[in-house]
Structure 1
Amino acid sequence: MDQTAQQAQQLLQKRDLAFAKNGVGRGLLSGAAWGLDGVLLGMAFSLAPFANTMSLFAAPLVGACIHDGFAALWLFIYNVLHGKWRDYGRTLKTRPARIIIIAAILGGPIGMSGNLLGIYFAGASYTAAITAAYPAIGAVLGAVFLKEKISLRVWAGLLLAIAGSFLVGFVPPDGSAYPHFYLGIALAVVSAIGWAVEGVLSTYGMDLVDSDIAIGIREAASFLIYICIILPLAGGGAFRILSQSFTTPSGWYIALIALVGGTSFLSWYRAMNMTGVGRTMGLSVTFALWSVFFGWLLNDLRLTPNLIIGVIVISLGTILTIGNPKNLLNLNIR
């Protein structure tokens, strides 16, 4: 190989390495933002009209609708500012867009609803611990359907991160605060499955679609499904809560929280497109760790030994998942 070819190959490797490192950073940012998002939403749900509502499911479903609606708006503004707004129309005419819309149904009305219902019924800490299982499901599906090669070290890190997340969430709740605790846990499991399948479908669809447009379409589709199908099925009480929420601070709080959620979604989709489903999910699973940190910082969460041990285990798992950035080049970077 002549010197020019070697230099070209070195430049290509440096570019790919920088791309992979950026993907790792995006994955970590996704986890931190999602941990903060869950804690803030839990705090918003303690306010009127979401608190003490007569409808068991309507309040968190309305919260999910507001959250995804404003996330779609913030992402659209972001894409407009980056000159991508025309890509919405062009992309919606393609087959990958239809795949992304299916992913939106799994990630929004199923995944997000399960997550917010879990937070509402079982608390943010437990819900984060249970939904942290979604990377394992997603990694398996990514290996099967997307043929992603995941090393034993990454698998070990992924399993450690998930185990640590369960330790983080293993704090017995106050029974009086969460009378429907086990219902919340079951709905969190549904959320984990929905997010895992969404990750695989979205990564497949993003082979031909800009990730920023993909997440914009995902959030817009999710909002439309909520407002046209989910809330009507929840009954008239849902629209009453929706209208009341914007006569109180809580609805506007959720609108602002959606900025955090939109940042997480944007980073998650970009990371999956940059460094694959398995690795991204192994990084974003740190949202359970961030949930505890922000819960302690903002909501007086009591720190216990199992929380501290869980944080250490998650940190070790994350280090294993990230590993040597140069190894990213051997993991089928997308």
Structure 2
Amino acid sequence: MERVSKASTSETIIAKNKLKANFLKKGISIALFSGLMYGFYSAFLALGMTKGVWGDWYGANTAGLSAIVITYVLGALGSAVNDTCSAVWAMGFATFKGKLGDFFRCLKTKPGLVMILAALIGGPISSTAYVVALQMAGSIVIPITALCPAIGAILGRILFKQKLNKRMMFGIAICVLSSFMIGSTSIGGSAPKGMLLGLCIAFIAALGWGFEGCVAGYGTSMIDSEIGITIRQVTSGLSNLIILVPLFGLLLGSGVKLSTDLTIQAFTSGSAMIWFALSGLCAFVSYMSWYNGNSMCGAALGMACNGTYSFWGPFCCWIILGVINGISGYALPPIAWISAVLMMFGILIIAMNPMDLFRKKDVA
């Protein structure tokens, strides 16, 4: 009888470990999928900003717009249109899941307000900087924005006194080295005009997303991740559309009327909105997968898996924009590909000890 009991206990432990291992693997797969979807979001967003009225704005005649309006106001508008589409997808998903009431209730809570703050940082600031950088320098800026986990680790140490050990510092050093390798492509006569400034603006996006990650970590630990995503996307979309685009118009001397006219034209350009709807969907799925993956395999490993967008971003842009649509400027030099892969490794080291992957596999 005792032998039977021991055998039963042993089988239970094996089954539990197997279930845990499968749960971890599923979480890793979902988090990796979030990085892939972020790559498609980047590609469809860039493609949308070449279609319809956007083609006129960025075309040879520039539709009578000044260079500063084309660079910054249109960059903010592109981010606003994408985030608004993403917010619509998020609201639709919350309605489908029967969580729309929870969404409005959470807006009044402290975690909800924290998520709104995170969205204000990651939306109007980082998302707009990302779009502007993408338009100025192309997909080469994407690995630079992938510095956000490294920046988040540093800010977590400064703001919340979180542990920053030698392994994490080594990973940060790898990420910084990778960014310098990518930045080296902007030096020299063969570099496109505006690439260096685009890379600098991309770093602003990484800084904002790193800070957003620190702030949002508190909010998502206390509310449903799906509600948190909806709050994030809706706040980002509305703040971009209602606050940032008109503000840019005022600061740059083009006025609110021009910003309003550009916004109306953007949302009524059907051939472009198809791609913005797709980019918004991919952005929403990417964030949702990231949050779900984090809850299954842990925030550290989930962050590392999501950081693979430093590879998927340039790759998807190259395939969709360069190969399929024949748009020049999206082919990357070998050093950029090597740097993107190296940065993924650096992000993994920041998030966890890579040897833990093998240890967990052995336990399973």
| TM-score, with structure 2 as normaliser | 0.76
CA contact (8 A) 1:131 1:191 kept: yes
User: Is it true that 1:70 corresponds to 2:92 in the alignment?
Assistant: no
Residue-by-residue CA offset, 1:133-161 (whole Å, 9 max, x unaligned): 11101123446666766776666556546
The residue type equivalent to 1:24 in the other structure is I
The answer for unaligned runs of 5 or more in structure 2 is 250-255, 323-329
Deviates more, 1:303-312 or 1:112-121: 303-312
Would you say the 8 A contact 1:32–1:286 is kept in 2?
yes
Q: Contact conserved, 1:128 with 1:165, CA < 8 A, in 2?
A: no
In the alignment, is residue 31 of structure 1 matched against residue 30 of structure 2? no
The residue number in structure 2 matching 1:332 is: none
Residues 183-332 of structure 1 aligned to structure 2 (within 5 Å): 183-235=197-249, 236=256, 237-248=258-269, 249-300=271-322, 301-310=330-339, 312-314=341-343, 316-317=345-346, 323-325=355-357
Residue type of the partner of 1:206? Answer: T
- Give the drift of 1:217: 0.5
Select 1:130's aligned residue among 111, 130, 144.
144
Q: 1:131 to 1:312 in 2, by over 3 A?
A: closer
Map 1:7-156 onto structure 2 (within 5 A): 16-47=20-51, 48-49=53-54, 50-51=57-58, 52=62, 53-54=65-66, 55=69, 56-125=71-140, 127-142=141-156, 156=170
The whole-number CA distance in structure 2 between the counterparts of 1:319 and 1:61 is 31
2:169 and 2:9 map into 1 onto residues whose CA distance is: 35
Could you tell me whether the CA contact under 8 Å between 1:27 and 1:283 is conserved in 2? yes
Instruction: Tell which deviates more after alignment, 135-144 or 271-280.
Output: 271-280
CA contact (8 A) 2:45 2:279 kept: yes
* Native 8 Å contact 1:28 1:286 kept in 2: yes
Q: Is the 8 A contact 1:69 1:223 kept in 2?
A: yes
Could you state the TM-score of these two structures normalised by the residue count of structure 1?
0.82
2:253 corresponds to: none
The change in CA–CA distance for 1:136 and 1:299 in structure 2 (over 3 A counts) is: same
The aligned amino acid for 2:307 is: V
Q: By how many angstroms is 1:92 displaced?
A: 1.7
Distance 1:156 1:306, change over 3 A: same
* 3-state SS of 2:37 partner: helix
Sort the Cα spacing of 1:175 and 1:204 in 2 relative to 1 into closer, same or farther, 3 A.
Answer: farther
The whole-number CA distance in structure 1 between the counterparts of 2:13 and 2:175 is 35
Matched letter for residue 29 of structure 1: F
> CA 1:295/1:231 → structure 2, altered by over 3 Å: closer, same or farther?
closer
Relative to structure 1, is the Cα distance of residues 13 and 196 closer, same or farther in structure 2, using a 3 angstrom cutoff?
farther
Q: Distance in 2 between the 1:128 and 1:33 partners? A: 13
Percentage of pairs with the same residue: 28
Instruction: Determine if contact 1:32/1:290 at 8 Å carries over to the other structure.
Output: yes
Q: Is the 8 A contact 2:41 2:279 kept in 1?
A: yes
Which has the larger displacement, 59-68 or 199-208?
199-208
Q: Which amino acid aligns with 1:25?
A: S
Q: Deviations over 1:265-286 (max 9, x none)?
A: 1122333444444433322222
Q: Deviations over 1:7-41 (max 9, x none)?
A: 77766655554443333223212221112222222
Bigger shift: residues 197-206 or 165-174:
165-174
- Gapped runs of 5+ residues in structure 1? 330-334
Q: Retained in 1: the 8 A contact 2:31–2:305?
A: yes
Name the amino acid aligned to 2:226. D
Q: Shift of residue 246 of structure 1? A: 3.2
May I ask how many residue pairs the two structures share in their alignment?
327
Residues 144 and 203, structure 2, Cα contact 8 Å, conserved in 1: yes
Distance 2:169 2:288 in 1: 25
Rg larger in structure = 2
Cα 1:106–1:37 shift into 2, 3 Å: same
Distance in 2, Cα, partners of 1:75 & 1:98? 18
| Alpha-carbon distance in 2 for matches of 1:111, 1:305 | 27
Report how far residue 107 of structure 1 moved: 0.8
> What is the CA-CA distance between 1:205 and the residue it aligns to?
0.9
Partner letter of residue 128 of structure 2? S
For the residue of structure 1 that corresponds to 2:50, the secondary structure is: coil
Does the Cα contact within 8 Å between 1:203 and 1:272 map onto a contact in 2?
no
Root-mean-square deviation (CA), in Å?
3.4
Q: Matched residue of 1:72: which SS? A: helix
